[in-house]
Amino acid sequence: MPDLAVVIGRRNTPLTDCYWIQSAPCGCIASLTTTTKPRGRGVNVLETAEQAHRHMVPLKRERDDENRRGFTWQLVTKVRYHAEIGTRWTCQQHRKDV
Ligand SMILES: [Zn+2]
């Protein structure tokens, strides 16, 4: 597999150290995927937000619907994800325990 890296906050991060996360317009996290997926004997690398979206939501109609509703994808490092997001997927507005 090629050694892909992305620059996040000025730091070079291997793509494999990141997750793709999808957020709703309010800030709730809707879904998450790793950047690599086994495919046959090889590995499928999700390099772009669009590839991640296509992997998670195979139906174009549903992807278009999510795009219309303002869902976005962003690449976050696994370190940052586990430090800042973890299981807190719900935005302040939708959090029930606040
Ligand atoms: Zn929310």
Indicate the Cα dihedral angle 68, 71, 74, 79, nearest 10°.
-170
Q: What is the residue extent of each domain of the chain?
A: 5-94
CA of 33 to the centre of ligand 1 (A): 19
Task: Please tell me the predicted confidence (pLDDT) of residue 5.
Answer: 79
Scan for tokens 């990141």, then name that residue: 18
Position 69 pLDDT exceeds 90: yes
User: What is the rounded average pLDDT of the residues 41-70?
Assistant: 96
User: What is the rounded average pLDDT of the residues 38-46?
Assistant: 90
Q: Which two tokens stand for residue 75?
A: 């690449």
Q: What is the pTM of this model?
A: 0.85
Give the sign of the dihedral formed by CA 83, CA 88, CA 92, CA 97: negative
CA of 89 to the centre of ligand 1 (A): 8
